[in-house]
Structure formats: structure tokens, C-alpha cells
């Protein structure tokens, strides 16, 4: 043993040989051998040793191969996983990029101070227009900013839209309709809507302008359900500071109109526009925290030549005036758009009304169906009475008309009932006349008793819901045209 210790290589061979023998014995003992078999132990050990060594070598090679294969497979799996992950990330990135390209937000911060629309002022090129405009904006808008949460909510909604149509509503009289707009009949409603379109070019913006010259907020109360709200406007501009009167009646109809619009299905933002007069609207504007442009506040500091350059009669804005209104409105919208992230979720619950607000459920009965305004069950007509649509009427709706003789009779169930007398250049020059009876009691003045603003004649005003019979008897010389625009009713 000592010599083996002195010769390490020989010692190792002995150790390996002993291990092989032990392994071979273990392998032989594990084989089921019959008692009659004669096995030479030495040969068996050598053969077993050889076989075992070969198998160990093969097993080692297989393990190495398997390990190499596994390593290769692992690499392939890793590569595949990385490729898949990279692919998904790329797809996701591409998808997000594509979506962001579609639902693009207004790029950067809008330069409110230098923001203008239209081309009339540019052609006129007043060096100090932008200064006057900014001063006017600060006086007319920033002094009465109201709550902008609903307006901001509209911009947040637009930011998320990838396609679709957006309606912007406009209610008013001749100013919003576009009287005295000048060459090209420029109207602030179109300029404002076009500016919004430029911010979100992937969407389609529609200006739904249902304004009617010579009418006030009372007339709007009766027809807004049928002519504007079905378009689901996101923003509604209301302008009635010229045709409304300084009375409790106008204060009530204006509040009723604001509440109808604010409480409608779309829960739109409302922006008020006060012009050269301001009749009792501040109560509702302050009550509901409505953003408002006070035109009087804007022009009070202007030199007369500036003011006169924007109007033809001191009331109706011309092309320059319409652009001035649009400029102030888009400045306000841009201001809200820039700061929309700071706004809270709107509180859509309204406080209790200040007035009786009896016109919130107001409706309109017309001779011919129009939009969501249904045609009334035909009244009982005799003589020359019949239905007709006048193309020259601003609202181009159906009317009941008489030019000779006869009667027309309606049955209406409501607590408030008004009769609208239609006016038109063809009629105003030779308007007919009729006596009016409510439940067989004659109304003094007949069809000449309408208000100047909306041509409405109050027939029932007791607020008690019950059926009433309304009868008109034509009482003019033959050939004089009398046109009934519709029956307005509330508390129904």
C-alpha cells in the first residue's frame, strides 16, 4: 500500500477498479439468474464492467446532449418569449399611437390672448383690435366666469372620442339667427363651431341654430324640446337679452328655459350671452352659476367709433360685430380647454328655482309635424281655414291659415295655454284678424293682443290642469291672411 501511496496514479487505478467491481457486483446481483446457470465470476464482472462503463459513457453523452438541447431549447424559448413580448409591446405601442393619432387632443396650450377667428377684422387691420378684444374679454367674461365644470367636462369627453358627431346648440333671437351679419351672412354660431372643429378635426361638429328673430325665452321654452334637445347638444348658447322684457314673466320663462336645458338628457353646458340689454337674466345666471358674456360690460369702455363699426342699428351686430362675439366666446372656451384638468366632475343637481318656473314642461302643438314636435290632432275647421307651410317663415313650420271666413277650434288640457300668431312680410302688411273665445268667453283684443317679442297671446294662466276649448272666428275683409303658428301649453 505504501508504494501505491508513493505512486498516486497507480493508487487511483486501484480505487477506480474497486468501484467498477462493486458496481458490477451490484448489477449482477440485481439480475435474475437461474440456479443451474454456470457463470464465471471473473468473466461476468469483466463483461458487466465493460457494459456498465459503456452505458455510463452513453448516459453521460445523452445527459450532455440533453443538457445542450435543453439549453438550446431554453434559448429558443427565451428568444420566442422575447420576440412575442416585443411583438405585443410593439403592437400595443402601435395601437396606442394609432389611437392617439385618431383621438388627438388640442396640441399644446392655446394662445388665448392672441386668439381671433374670422377675417373681417384682419381685413380692416386695426392695430389695436387685439388690445380692445382682450380688454373686452376680461370685462365681459372674466368678471362673470360662472362655473366652468360642465364646459370642461365637454372637452374631456372630446379628448376621449375617436369619431362621432358633436352638436353645439344656439338659442336666441335675430342676433343669433344672423340678422345684419353683413356680406356672407357671418354668424357667430358658425365661427365658434368651426373653431371647435379645428381643435378636433377627426370629429364632426354641427351648429344646431334654432334661433328665431323677434322671439324671447318664452317662445324657446315651448319649442326647445322638439327643435333643439333631440340633437343632444353638448354645449348650448342662450341669447335673449334683447327680446325679453323687464318683467317677472321673462324672468320666469328664462329660468324655465335654463332649467329645461340643464336638466335635459345630455346635461349640456350652458353659456349665456347678454347683449345691449339685460332684462332679469342675472337672477338665473347667478342662481345656476352659468358662464356669461355681458356684451354691455364689454363695449362700455369702447370709443363710439368702435362700437358703431360693429352694428347697423345699435342692437344687431354686423359682420365685424359677429366676429367680435365669436372671438370672446372662443377665448372663453380656449381658457377652459387649457385648464380642463383642474376642473371637478360637474354637479348636475340643480337648486330649487327662484321663480315658479312653470314652463319647464312647456310643449308646442303645430299644424304639421316637425322633428320631434308632433302634429296636433287636427282641430275642427270650417270655411277657409286650412294647413299651410310658409317657406318664408324663419322656422319654416306648419301653420293654420285663413284668408276669408270660418272658425277653427282646439281642445287642450293644460294649466297654461298660449296662442302664437305667425308673422311674415307677406302677412304683416295685410294681416287678418280673428276673435278668440276660451270656454265661450271672449278674449279682449282677439288676435291683435299678442306681445311684440314672441307674438304670443295668453289664453289660460291659472295653472290648473283641465281641458279647455279654444275657438277662433275669422273677422276680417276677405283676402287678409291670418296665420296661427301653434298652441303653446305648459302645466300639462
Residue 477's pLDDT is: 84
Q: How far apart are CA 213 and CA 316, in angstroms?
A: 11
What is the 3-class SS of the chain, one letter each residue?
CHHHHHCHHHHHHHHHHHHHHHHHHHHHHCCCCCCCCCCCHHHHHHHHHHHHHHHHHHHHHHHHHHHHHHHHHHHHHHHHHHHHHHHHHHHHHHHHHHHHHHCCCCCCCCCCCCCCCCCHHHHHCCCCHHHHHHHHHHHHHHCCCCCCHHHHHHHHHHHHCCCCEEEEEEEECHHHHCCCCCCCCCCHHHHHHHHHHHHCCCCEEEEEECCCCCCCHHHHHHHHHHHCHHHCCCEEEEECCCCCCCCHHHHHHHHHHHHHHHCCCCCCEEEEEECCCCCCCHHHHHHCCCCEEEHHHHHCCCCHHHHHHCECCCCCECHHHHHHHHHHHHHHHHHHHHCHHHCCCCCCCCCCCCCCCCCCCCEEEECCCECCECECCCCEECCCCEEEECCCCCCCCEEEEECCCCEEEEEEEECEEEEEECCCHHHHCCECCEEEEECCEECCCHHHCCCCCCCEEEEECCCCCEEEEEEEEECCCCCCEEEEEEEEEECC
Domain of 406, CATH number, reads 2.60.120.260
| Residue 254 in domain | yes
Instruction: Judge if 368 and 475 occupy the same domain.
Output: yes
Residue 278's pLDDT is: 62
Helix 188-199 vs helix 319-338: crossing angle, to nearest 10? 30
Instruction: Judge if 131 and 219 occupy the same domain.
Output: yes
| Residue 170 in domain | yes
Instruction: Judge if 368 and 337 occupy the same domain.
Output: no
Q: How many CB atoms lie within 10 A of CB 29?
A: 8
Domain containing 25 equals 1-30+39-65
Domain of 338, CATH number, reads 3.40.50.1110
pLDDT in tens, 47-98: 333 344 444 344 444 434 444 443 444 444 344 444 444 444 444 344 333 3
Instruction: Judge if 148 and 265 occupy the same domain.
Output: yes
Opening angle at CA 193, ends 189 and 196, nearest 5: 150
Residue 277's pLDDT is: 66
Residue 347's pLDDT is: 95
Q: How far apart are CA 39 and CA 41, in angstroms?
A: 6
Q: How many domains does the chain have?
A: 3
Instruction: Judge if 56 and 12 occupy the same domain.
Output: yes
Q: How far apart are CA 18 and CA 119, in angstroms?
A: 107
Residue 49's pLDDT is: 36
Structural domain ending residue among the three candidates 291, 307, 342: 342
Instruction: Judge if 299 and 182 occupy the same domain.
Output: yes
Instruction: Judge if 284 and 325 occupy the same domain.
Output: yes
Q: How far apart are CA 306 and CA 223, in angstroms?
A: 37
Instruction: Judge if 199 and 307 occupy the same domain.
Output: yes
Instruction: Judge if 321 and 385 occupy the same domain.
Output: no
Residue 300's pLDDT is: 58
CA-based nearest residue to 194, from 249, 119, 269: 119
Instruction: Judge if 195 and 318 occupy the same domain.
Output: yes
pLDDT in tens, 276-334: 666 679 899 999 999 998 876 666 555 556 666 787 777 888 888 899 899 999 999 99
- Cβ(377)–Cβ(467) below 8 Å: no
Cα separation values, 132 from 15, 261, 408, Å? 108, 33, 56
Q: Which pLDDT tens digits describe the chain residue by residue (492 residues)?
A: 444 444 444 444 444 444 544 444 444 333 333 333 333 333 333 333 334 444 434 444 443 444 444 344 444 434 444 444 444 444 434 433 333 444 567 767 899 888 888 777 766 656 677 887 888 888 787 667 899 999 999 999 999 999 999 999 999 998 998 876 554 568 999 999 999 999 999 999 999 999 988 889 998 999 899 889 999 999 999 999 888 888 899 999 999 999 999 999 999 999 999 886 666 798 999 999 999 988 766 665 555 566 667 877 778 888 888 998 999 999 999 999 999 999 999 999 999 999 999 999 998 876 555 555 555 567 899 999 987 765 444 444 557 888 889 999 998 999 999 998 875 434 444 578 899 999 999 999 998 876 555 578 999 999 899 999 999 999 988 888 888 878 889 987
Amino acid at each position: 500500500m505504501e508504494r501505491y501511496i508513493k505512486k498516486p496514479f497507480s493508487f487511483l487505478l486501484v480505487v477506480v477498479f474497486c468501484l467498477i467491481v462493486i458496481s458490477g457486483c451490484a448489477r449482477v446481483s440485481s439480475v435474475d439468474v437461474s440456479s443451474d446457470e454456470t457463470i464465471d465470476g471473473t468473466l461476468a464482472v469483466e463483461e458487466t464492467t465493460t457494459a456498465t462503463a459503456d452505458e455510463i459513457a452513453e448516459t453521460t453523452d445523452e445527459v450532455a446532449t440533453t443538457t445542450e438541447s435543453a439549453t438550446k431549447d431554453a434559448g429558443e424559448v427565451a428568444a420566442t418569449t422575447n420576440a412575442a413580448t416585443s411583438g405585443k409591446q410593439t403592437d400595443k405601442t402601435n395601437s396606442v399611437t394609432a389611437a392617439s393619432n385618431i383621438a388627438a387632443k388640442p396640441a399644446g396650450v392655446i394662445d388665448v390672448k392672441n386668439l381671433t377667428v374670422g377675417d373681417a377684422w384682419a381685413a380692416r387691420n386695426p392695430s389695436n383690435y387685439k388690445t380692445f378684444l382682450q380688454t373686452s374679454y376680461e370685462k365681459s367674461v372674466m368678471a362673470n366666469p360662472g362655473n366652468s365644470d360642465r364646459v370642461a367636462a365637454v372637452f374631456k369627453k372630446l379628448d376621449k372620442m375617436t369619431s362621432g358627431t358633436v352638436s353645439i346648440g344656439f338659442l336666441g333671437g335675430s342676433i343669433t339667427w344672423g340678422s345684419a351679419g353683413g356680406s356672407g351672412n357671418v354668424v357667430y354660431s358658425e365661427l365658434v363651431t368651426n373653431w371647435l372643429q379645428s381643435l378636433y378635426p377627426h370629429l364632426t361638429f354641427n351648429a344646431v341654430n334654432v334661433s328665431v328673430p323677434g322671439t324671447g325665452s318664452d317662445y324657446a321654452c315651448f319649442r326647445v324640446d322638439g327643435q333643439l334637445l333631440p340633437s343632444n347638444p353638448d354645449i348650448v348658447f342662450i341669447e335673449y337679452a334683447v327680446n325679453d322684457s323687464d318683467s317677472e314673466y321673462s324672468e320666469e320663462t328664462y329660468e324655465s328655459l335654463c332649467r329645461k336645458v340643464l336638466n335635459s338628457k345630455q346635461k349640456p353646458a350652458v353659456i349665456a350671452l347678454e347683449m345691449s340689454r339685460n332684462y332679469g337674466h342675472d337672477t338665473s345666471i347667478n342662481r345656476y352659476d352659468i358662464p356669461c358674456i355681458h356684451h354691455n360690460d364689454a363695449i362700455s369702455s369702447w370709443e363710439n367709433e368702435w362700437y358703431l363699426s360693429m352694428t347697423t342699428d345699435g342692437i344687431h351686430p354686423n359682420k365685424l360685430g359677429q366676429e367680435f362675439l365669436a372671438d370672446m366666446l372662443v377665448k372663453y372656451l380656449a381658457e377652459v380647454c387649457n385648464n380642463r384638468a383642474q376642473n371637478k366632475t360637474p354637479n348636475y343637481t340643480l337648486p330649487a328655482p327662484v321663480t315658479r318656473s312653470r314652463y319647464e314642461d312647456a310643449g308646442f302643438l303645430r299644424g304639421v309635424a316637425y322633428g320631434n314636435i308632433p302634429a296636433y290632432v287636427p282641430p275642427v275647421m270650417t270655411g277657409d281655414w286650412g294647413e299651410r307651410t310658409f317657406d318664408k317663415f324663419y322656422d319654416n313650420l306648419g301653420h293654420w291659415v285663413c284668408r276669408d271666413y270660418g272658425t277653427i277650434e282646439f281642445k287642450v288640457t293644460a294649466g297654461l295655454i298660449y296662442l302664437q300668431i305667425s308673422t311674415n312680410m307677406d302677412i304683416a302688411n295685410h294681416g287678418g284678424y280673428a276673435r278668440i273665445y276660451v270656454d265661450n268667453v271672449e278674449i279682449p283684443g282677439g288676435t291683435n293682443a299678442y306681445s311684440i317679442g314672441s307674438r304670443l297671446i295668453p289664453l289660460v294662466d291659472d295653472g290648473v290642469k283641465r281641458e279647455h276649448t279654444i275657438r277662433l272666428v275669422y273677422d276680417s275683409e276677405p283676402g287678409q291672411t291670418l296665420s296661427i303658428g301653434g298652441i303653446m301649453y305648459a302645466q300639462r
